[in-house]
Amino acid sequence: MTISRSQGGAGLALLLLCAANFLDAMDVSTIGVALPAIQAELGMKATSLQWAVSAYVLGYGGFLLLGGRVADVFGHRRVFLWSLAIFAAASIAGGFVDSGPTLIAARLIKGIAAAFTAPAALALLLSVFGEGSARAKALGIFASTGATGFVLGMVLGGAATVFSWRATLVMGAPVAIIALAIAPFVLPADQQRSGPRAKFDWAGAITITPGLLLFVFGITNAAADGWQAVPTWGALVAAAALIGLFLIVESRHADPMVPLAIFRRAKLSHANAIAALFQGVYVGFQFIATLYYQTVVGWSAFATGFSFAFGGVCVMFLAPRFATIAQNRGTTGLMTLGVALQALSYIFWILSVGHINPVWLVVLSQLPLGVGYAMTYPSVQVAALSDVGEDQSGLASGLLFASFQIGGGIVLAAASAIFGAASGFGWDPYFAGITFVAVLAVLVTLAAALGPRASVVDRNIYQAAE
């Protein structure tokens, strides 16, 4: 194992990076269960309330590519520290908001900060740990904290709301501040580049960033107002134009923000596609299942959030082990099995809902779902980062995290549309929504199985590193 600092220093660096990753993922879902309390105190309209959640995703998904490239060009540690400081400041400011617009602004700023923190953190991890089992274990722990943060965000949000909904915004600040105090002593310094610094691609930045922002806005707005709404299709048309212009700019730029050749890397492209689809399927299931547990079963916000804790515990303990297996034996088979287990969980939910006790429905569906998520999440990370150099690790990380966010938004919008339209066709909306999720999960399983296999060379490199 090759590391940049002592064993203890590497362990502390991993703990710090995992803490930041946990905070970034947790904030995606932590505020959802607090929305009724927020609406009661701030008087927000129902149509604008969902933007308290979506603003974070908008900033996170819209700025990820820019965040990854900025980290590669200006230094991973420098970008990590600055963005984490902004995240902490926005978290504290969120505790003092007095209106809907200021709440949405605080959430947006936190999302943008996370878009710079996340790819920089993953790139720093790759520089701290060398190839082989050490990196596999570190990636597994890193992946498990991100997945656990997302899955347990609702649980933590429900617990915090017992005291105050403002606690859901502030509770990440102490962890971020402690991480900032420790980071300069344990994270490796940014390497001094030999030769001229790469020129920053401003033309690419000013086309892809608003393009992604408009795209995330469009699919998020579709979930709230429908696909026929002018803001929805108008944003998507503008996004398509800007992303098309971005591709033209990148194909002609001497030092592009996103070298288009990176998409010819089979493992990276396949991992990004599976990440977008499997995360989207999970978000769609979480959305509909949450409505069912609260509306039909009558559970409280805390009990509903706690229903996802079992899967989160599975992810927490199993993801590091599955990451090592992914490094050792290849990622395609593992992510295929992981998505298949998730598909079986959704199918079981459809067949069992209304026929067994809701508690048993949660336990028996969350077990394969948690194990499958623990297999898939680290597998896509290992696959995406296995064939990129350190100079492109921030960009590759940004692409991967963007896939998670954008895929989640697209599938959620589709699942919401089916859920909302089902009653008009005489279907049960919960059955229709989860059926769509299950069918898509089966298709994702087939797509995962078609991925590139680990080569003999890959295995030899791993064995030599051990």
What per-residue confidence (pLDDT) applies to 28? 79
Alpha-carbon distance 121 to 382, whole Å? 15
Confidence tier at 1 by pLDDT (50, 70, 90): very low
The CA-based dihedral angle spanning residues 166, 170, 172, 175, taken in that order and rounded to the nearest 10 degrees:
-140
The pLDDT, as a whole number, for residue 30 is 83
Residues 113-145: tens digit of each pLDDT: 999 998 899 889 888 887 666 777 787 788 778
Residue 304 to residues 26, 156, 296, 342, Cα–Cα distance (Å)? 16, 11, 12, 20
Q: How far apart are CA 88 and CA 94, in angstroms?
A: 10
d(CA 70, CA 258): 11
**What pLDDT band is residue 337 in, cutting at 50, 70 and 90?**
very high
- Report the pLDDT value the prediction gives residue 84, as an integer from 0 to 100: 95
Is residue 204 within 8 A of residue 250, CB to CB? The reply is: yes
Statement: residue 309 has pLDDT above 70? yes
φ, ψ (nearest 5 deg) of residue 229: -65, 140
Structure confidence at residue 457 (pLDDT): 36
- Is a pLDDT exceeding 50 seen at residue 460? no
Q: Which residue has the higher pLDDT, 335 or 385?
A: 335
Q: Are 117 and 25 in contact (CB under 8 A)?
A: no
SS3 of the chain: CCECCCHHHHHHHHHHHHHHHHHHHHHHHCCHHHHHHHHHHHCCCHHHHCHHHHHHHHHHHHHHHHHHHHHHHHCHHHHHHHHHHHHHHHHHHHCCCCCHHHHHHHHHHHHHHHHHHHHHHHHHHHHHECCCHHHHHHHHHHHHHHHHHHHHHHHHHHHHHCCCCCHHHHCCHHHHHHHHHHHHHHCCCCCCCCCCCCCCCHHHHHHHHHHHHHHHHHHHHHHHHCCCCHHHHHHHHHHHHHHHHHHHHHHHCCCCCCCHHHHHCHHHHHHHHHHHHHHHHHHHHHHHHHHHHHHHCCCCHHHHHHCCHHHHHHHHHHHHHHHHHHHHHCCHHHHHHHHHHHHHHHHHHHHHCCCCCHHHHHHHHHHHHHHHHHHHHHHHHHHHHCCCCHHHHHHHHHHHHHHHHHHHHHHHHHHHHHHHHHHHHCCCHHHHHHHHHHHHHHHHHHHHHCCCCCCHHHHHHHHHHC
What does pLDDT average to over the chain? Answer: 83
Which residue, among 347, 371, 365, 374, has the nearest Cα to 441 in the 3D structure?
A: 347
Q: Minimum mean pLDDT among 3-12, 307-316, 351-360: which range? A: 3-12
Predicted local confidence at residue 2, as pLDDT: 37
pLDDT of residue 181: 92
Q: What is the largest CA-CA distance in the chain?
A: 68
Ramachandran category for residue 363: left, alpha or beta (phi over 0 → left; psi -120 to 50 → alpha): alpha
pLDDT digits (tens, 9 = 90+) for 198-256: 667 778 888 888 888 888 788 877 766 777 889 888 999 999 999 999 889 888 877 78
**Per-residue model confidence (pLDDT) at position 260:** 80
Q: What's residue 437's pLDDT?
A: 94
Q: Report which of residues 7 and 374 the model is more confident about.
A: 374
Separation of alpha carbons 33 and 19, rounded Å: 22
One-letter amino acid at 214 equals L
Q: What is the pLDDT of residue 458?
A: 43
353-367 tens-digit pLDDT = 988 999 999 999 999
Residue 466: pLDDT above 50?
no
Q: pTM for the full model?
A: 0.79
pLDDT tens digits, 426-442: 898 999 999 999 999 99
Proportion of the chain above pLDDT 90, given as a percent: 26
Residue 90 has pLDDT above 80, yes or no: yes
Radius of gyration in angstroms for the set of CA atoms belonging to the chain, rounded to a whole number: 21
Cα distance between residue 263 and residue 260, in whole Å:
6
Mean pLDDT of 97-107: 90
Residue 109 confidence class, pLDDT cut points 50, 70, 90: very high
Q: Could you tell me which residues are beta bridge partners of residue 129?
A: 3
Task: Supply the pLDDT for residue 335.
Answer: 92
Which of 414, 413, 433 has the alpha carbon at shortest distance from 423?
433
Q: Is the dihedral of CA 364, 369, 372, 373 positive or negative?
A: negative
pLDDT in tens, 59-79: 887 888 888 888 888 888 999
Are the C-beta atoms of 392 and 384 separated by less than 8 Å?
A: no
What is the pLDDT at residue 390? 65
